[in-house]
Amino acid sequence: MNTRFVLTVLCTLALSACGKKETPAPAPAPATATAPSNAEAKVLNIYNWPDYISENMVSDFEKETGIQVNYQTFENNEVLQAKLIAGNSGYDIVVPGAVFAQSQIEAGLLQALDKSKIPNLSNLDSAIMAKLDAVDPGNAHLVPWAWSFTTVGINKTKVAKALGNTPMPDNAWDLVFNPTYTSKLKSCGIAFLDSPTEVMPPALHYIGKNAYSADTADHKAAGDMLALVRKDIRLFSSTLIDDLAGGKACVVLGWAGDINIARSRAIENQSAEEIEALVPQTGGLLFFDNLAVPKDAKHPNNAMAFINYFLKPEVSAALTNELSYPTANKASIAFVAPEMAQNKSVFLDEASLQQAVSPASLSNSTRESLTAAYTRFKQGK
């Protein structure tokens, strides 16, 4: 390749400078400025939720690409938010929930994806992407990782025993929010997720308010309801899978996917007791978690490579098959195991999906008010 040809190509790519007569022709750019992806170290730093990736995804990606992955986990959206706000997290991929993502995009904390490097985006379900467009206009920043719903999980045997003559309620949310039930179930252990934005929306939904209400008076009303059950809650926990599978709790307010993981762990441990993710008649709370690249990520091209790898149908399907979390990868459905596809607490049926509450964006000020109400509840004040 001769120098003139290289310069012509550079001038074509750098549309601005070369053609303008009034500015002198630029000196040839140093090699590093024009060397794109291969200028990155072969490293990728991922920050995801616990129990949220198939066993071989990282090692298979490393083998295929030669990129070495450092993988760390966070327990709730609040922790991730704090890292992103502080900046210089060092992460190249993070996985915010849809309720947090819009304010992160608006605050400039996430960078636009280079879609030219993610051809497998075409595997995504266009109906889900159209929904996500409300949070992320043009689907510029987010690629859905997995979804599920927040609900009530139980150990059926223990709950039946603790309830005694009291029949199971029609509304599953009564098991965690109604003192008639919590006062009985506290003997075998009630555990809640430990995060304002996980607990307050179901509480608001239970008292008939908009789950994502911005109204502080609604937050107070939900707090008043929660205060009635506070003494019956044994744990605020970020290890609900183990708590439920290991017997520390018989009832949890948690994620359906994790409750199903607890179920398979209990079966592996040859426990006769049945764990079940209930599908509330009044609706569970849907959530979507999304791959995103922090603004200051050092390895954005490696991030695009990982996102594209994840979007292979078999790779997405392994996440569903091993962890009972559906993805938005439509092409993966063909590889999803029948027992997952048929499980109505993994893939909600049409009626339950209609009934479920869709996620909505929470502003910074709404989150502050929810946190204040949650903290009062947790501290018993």
CB 51 to ligand N2P: min, Å: 4
The whole-angstrom separation of Cα 175 and Cα 181 is 5
The whole-angstrom separation of Cα 102 and Cα 255 is 22
> Binding segment for ligand N2P among 46-54, 273-281, 339-347, 372-380 (CB under 6 A)?
46-54
CB 35 to ligand N2P: min, Å: 37
Nearer to ligand N2P among residue 179 and residue 246 (C-beta): 246
| Interaction of residue 125 with ligand N2P, rule CB under 6 A | no
Closest CA to 208 of 192, 194, 221, 196: 221
Nearer to ligand N2P among residue 241 and residue 305 (C-beta): 241
CB 156 to ligand N2P: min, Å: 22
CB 289 to ligand N2P: min, Å: 5
Q: At what angle do helices 57-65 and 313-323 cross, to 10 degrees?
A: 160
CB 153 to ligand N2P: min, Å: 13
Q: Are residues 66 and 275 in contact, defined by beta-carbon separation less than 8 angstroms?
A: no
The whole-angstrom separation of Cα 190 and Cα 183 is 10
Compose the 252-271 pattern: x for residues touching ligand N2P by CB under 6 A, - for all others. Answer: ---x-xx-------------
The whole-angstrom separation of Cα 174 and Cα 206 is 8
Sign of the torsion angle spanned by Cα atoms 288, 289, 290, 293: positive
Of 40, 45, 46, 49, the one binding ligand N2P (CB under 6 A) is 49
Q: Are residues 309 and 119 in contact, defined by beta-carbon separation less than 8 angstroms?
A: no
Q: Which residues pair with 149 in a beta bridge?
A: 286
Q: Are residues 285 and 201 in contact, defined by beta-carbon separation less than 8 angstroms?
A: yes
Compose the 5-44 pattern: x for residues touching ligand N2P by CB under 6 A, - for all others. Answer: ----------------------------------------
Structure tokens given for 3: 């120098």
The whole-angstrom separation of Cα 232 and Cα 362 is 29
Residues 311-350 contacting ligand N2P, CB under 6 A: none
Counts of helices then strands in the chain (DSSP H, E): 18, 9
> Binding segment for ligand N2P among 8-16, 26-34, 48-56, 156-164 (CB under 6 A)?
48-56
Nearer to ligand N2P among residue 145 and residue 309 (C-beta): 145
CB 196 to ligand N2P: min, Å: 14
The whole-angstrom separation of Cα 177 and Cα 105 is 34
CB 59 to ligand N2P: min, Å: 19
| Interaction of residue 97 with ligand N2P, rule CB under 6 A | yes
DSSP class of 232: G
| Interaction of residue 50 with ligand N2P, rule CB under 6 A | yes
- # chain residues binding ligand N2P, by CB under 6 A: 10
105, burial (CB in 10 Å: exposed 0-12, middle 13-18, buried 19+): buried
Of 287, 306, 309, 377, the one binding ligand N2P (CB under 6 A) is 287
19 three-class SS = coil
| Interaction of residue 51 with ligand N2P, rule CB under 6 A | yes
Nearer to ligand N2P among residue 177 and residue 255 (C-beta): 255
Q: Are residues 95 and 71 in contact, defined by beta-carbon separation less than 8 angstroms?
A: no
Compose the 289-308 pattern: x for residues touching ligand N2P by CB under 6 A, - for all others. Answer: x-------------------
CB 279 to ligand N2P: min, Å: 17
| Interaction of residue 243 with ligand N2P, rule CB under 6 A | no
Residues 356-375 contacting ligand N2P, CB under 6 A: none
Collect all residues with Cβ–Cβ distance below 8 Å to 245 and sequence separation of at least 6. Answer: 262, 263, 265, 266, 269, 271, 275
Give the binding site for ligand N2P (CB under 6 A).
Answer: 49-52, 97, 255, 257-258, 287, 289
